[in-house]
Chain A
Amino acid sequence: MTRSEQLKALRADVDALVHADEATVLAALPQWDSLAILLVVSHFEHVHEIEITGAQVRACRTVGDILNLIHSLS
């Protein structure tokens, strides 16, 4: 999966990110909350078969950081 495909799949699963790009700052999104974090954890599990913690998602500042996390754990 290319990086742009990864971003597209992430947007499809996590509604808070539907209009986001790599530079989007997560904390600036009104829907970036505990539910969004849970959806990211679920996305990692079912799309990439990677188990992550909530703390790993919370440590991401931007959407690009989430994609970097996928890359670093794949």
Chain B
Amino acid sequence: MHSSLSNIRLAGVAVTTGSVVRDFIADGLAAGVDRAALERTAKTIGLRERRVAAAGITALDLCADATERLLSEMGLDATSIDAVIFVTQTPDHSQPNNASLLHGRLGLSKSAPAYDLSMGCSGWVTGLHQAALLCAHGGAARVLLCAGDTLSRLTNPGDRSTDPLFGDAGSATLVEKTGRSAPLHFVLGADGSGAEAIIVRQGGARHPAGSLAERTDAEGNRTHDANLVMNGADVFSFTLREVPSAIESVMRHASYAPTTTDALVLHQANRFILSTLAKKTGFTEAQTPMSVVEHFGNQSSASIPCALIHCLGNRLEAGPLKVVGCGFGVGLSWGAFAGEIGPLTIAPILSLPQ
């Protein structure tokens, strides 16, 4: 689906990460993995350290912290928010949704609707589209988009193919209605036939609870039914199949070319995937931020806002950049965007608790 929305702008972004630093090599050695194998993976995939949430901290806490810091940075009161959208697949409860909990915690106006989008790595773009729709056509002047997860809680420490990848983070993005006419372009899509490529089988209504007996795959990775299980090779195939064409499509709508675009900001899955996508879409590695994973881990739906701050923060604070981006992952699903972003208010990346 293509959608172009005018008279909206990103006003500010903040990210709060988990506070526990996990070192890829040290963790691997402790798990009995050979150092040479760890260094090979670290180099190929771009893993170094990640930040995971301390005990008791949830995606709601991380996003609430990011929101409070962003509002403070912008000198705004929470009651000025007209709607809140919360993108997460690790909510505090199955009911009520995280957006309602955040609404209550921040004291938002009763006229502000609050709803969740159950999406992962593609979710920030889908949430941005929703927020932009509310501003462009829905009567909202300012929408809060929160996006974040604590996926480190779902992976099995014995699953060396998945567990070392993920960090925990929450983001807050403010989208505002503006007189500016330059549109933000979106291309969104899904392929539900690949739904099993990234899945947590237990914990929803289909299988609320059951055996947590561990299975061991051919490579020695251990998982049980309440773990996040990912078929990395199939997710990689899906990414190469769908993401370049979504990027090319959204760039056609925006009349952008790689040479006239300032940055390609992708979901920070891992360095290997990002460098492959940059190559396939005609962007240089210098145009394509890739360093979030090695500092923070794969942060699910918070990774694009984290890349905006971590890799482009100073430039986005100073003025507009022509940015193309794409989130992709669980669903399977993807969302690409293109447009001018900035000048942007940015709250620095901090951890909770600090």
Q: Which residues of A contact B (CB under 8 A)?
A: 15, 27, 30-31, 33-35, 37-42, 45-46, 51-55, 57-58
Contact = CB atoms under 8 A, between A and B. Distances in A.
**B interface, size bucket:** 20 to 34
Nearest to B37: A31
A41 B218 contact: no
Given A34-B219, A35-B40, A35-B45, A57 B233 contact: yes
A42 B277 CA distance: 11
Contacts of B37: 30-31, 33
Q: Which 10 A-B pairs have the closest CB atoms?
A: A54-B233, A34-B161, A41-B233, A37-B233, A54-B234, A33-B219, A38-B233, A45-B240, A53-B234, A34-B232
B41 interface: yes
A45 B161 CA distance: 21
B237 interface: yes
A45 B212 CA distance: 37
Given A31-B37, A35-B41, A54 B276 contact: no
Contact of A51 (B45, B231, B232, B240): B240
A53 B233 contact: yes
A34 to B, nearest CB: 4
20 contacts: A30-B34, A33-B37, A33-B161, A34-B219, A34-B232, A37-B233, A38-B232, A38-B236, A38-B272, A40-B233, A41-B236, A42-B240, A42-B272, A42-B276, A51-B240, A51-B241, A52-B237, A53-B234, A54-B233, A54-B234
Contacts of A52: 237
B182 to A, nearest CB: 35
B44 interface: yes
B219 A51 contact: no
Nearest to A44: B237
Contacts of B276: 42, 46
A7 to B, nearest CB: 21
A54 B88 CA distance: 28
Contacts of B161: 33-34
A54 B221 CA distance: 15
B242 to A, nearest CB: 11
Contacts of A39: 44
A27 B218 contact: yes
Contacts of A27: 218
B234 A35 contact: no
A15 B161 CA distance: 17
A42 to B, nearest CB: 6
Contacts of A55: 234
Interface string B202-244: 0000000000000000110100000000011110110011000
A45 B241 CA distance: 9
Given A31-B37, A33-B219, A54 B232 contact: yes
B219 A53 contact: no
B296 to A, nearest CB: 20
B45 to A, nearest CB: 7
Interface in B27-41: 34, 37, 40-41
A27 B219 CA distance: 9
B328 to A, nearest CB: 15
A58 B233 CA distance: 10
A42 B40 contact: no
B218 A58 contact: yes
Contacts of B34: 30
A31 to B, nearest CB: 7
Given A31-B40, A35-B40, A35-B41, 7 more contacts: A15-B44, A38-B232, A38-B272, A40-B233, A53-B233, A53-B234, A58-B218
Contacts of B45: 35
Nearest to A27: B218
Contacts of A53: 233-234, 237
A53 B233 CA distance: 6
B40 A15 contact: yes
